[in-house]
Amino acid sequence: MKKNNFKTNCDKCVKKVSSPKKLKKVNEGYLCNKCRKENRKDHREFLKRDILKIPKRSDLLKGWAEKRKAKEKEQERLRKIYGDAKPQIKSSKKDKLKINILGLYLTKDERLFLYKKLVQGENPLSSEEANKRIKNLTEQNKRLIEELRNKVKTQGEFKKKFDEAFAKLLMEMENE
């Protein structure tokens, strides 16, 4: 009688298989279907993690948690040094006018209005005299702004005083 020389046991898990066809030759030896699936799965993991350097999501989450803890510790350390800072409500940037740029020049429309007033008024002036008056007014305006910048610190006060002084300059110009 002939004896079967075929293997019927898996080399990795040492389980007996029903037929030798269910064992496949792999580098490590003869493996059953379950062991081959695990082997392929391990190899895919090796390629992803070690060769392609793709981290697992759980590793990423752990790293993020560590960074968050380090940041919280740093904030706690700074809080101890500087104390608790109260948050301030920021006003909108549209409301703020810079003192430096406020009223440095007369606009084209303002110059035209003054020119017409001087040329066609009760005591009409020539165009050269009207232009001289307007230049004189702008110089007075610049001096007024410099004085107000030195005196006034808040924006609202500056605007209010500038408007009052400018109105006085216009009244003086009309009376001349």
The pLDDT tens digits of the residues spanning 31-42 come to 999 999 999 999
Which one, of 103, 106, 99, lies nearest residue 157 by Cα? 99
> Whole domain around residue 18: which residue ranges?
9-54
How far is Cα 12 from Cα 14, in angstroms, rounded to an integer? 6
Structure confidence at residue 64 (pLDDT): 95
- Statement: residue 156 has pLDDT above 90: no
Domains in the chain, number: 3
How far is Cα 168 from Cα 164, in angstroms, rounded to an integer? 6
The pLDDT tens digits of the residues spanning 93-103 come to 555 545 455 55
- Statement: residue 7 has pLDDT above 50: yes
Q: Is residue 125 part of a domain?
A: yes
Whole-structure pTM value? 0.38
| Residue 68 and residue 29 share a domain | no
Task: Show Cβ contacts of residue 19 under 8 Å, excluding neighbours closer than 6 positions.
Answer: 8
Averaged pLDDT score across all residues of the chain? 80
- Statement: residue 81 has pLDDT above 50: yes
CATH code, 165: 1.10.246
| Residue 167 and residue 140 share a domain | yes
Write out the two tokens for 157.
């006060």
Q: Is residue 90 part of a domain?
A: no
Name beta bridge partners: 16. 9
Which one, of 120, 118, 175, 170, lies nearest residue 141 by Cα? 170
Write out the two tokens for 117.
């007033």
Among the residues of 83-154, which ranges form H helices? 108-120, 127-151
| Residue 140 and residue 165 share a domain | yes
If DSSP codes are grouped into helix, strand and coil, which group holds residue 16?
A: strand
Angle at 135 between CA 154 and CA 115, to 5 degrees: 105
